[in-house]
Amino acid sequence: MVKKLGSITICFFFLALAGCSTSHEVEVKPVEIKPIHITIDVNVKVDRALDDFFGDIDAAEDQLEKKEGE
């Protein structure tokens, strides 16, 4: 029984030694910075501003067309 326990202990010891050998490698890759292209469409804002600016003229024109149609 003692021989069995001793041989099991020795086996676990050698397995533990075999399992403890580890190696780690870390690669540091160069950081690549690329330019960012941004396209902003401003036509919608200009179109809305023009609608607001000429809105009074369009409303007056609509009223004239209604009066001429009567």
For residue 5, is pLDDT > 80? no
- What digits encode the pLDDT tens for the residues 12-61? 777 766 666 677 788 888 888 899 988 877 667 777 777 777 777 777 78
| Chain centroid to CA 60 | 49
**Amino acid in position 37:** H
pLDDT for res 29? 87
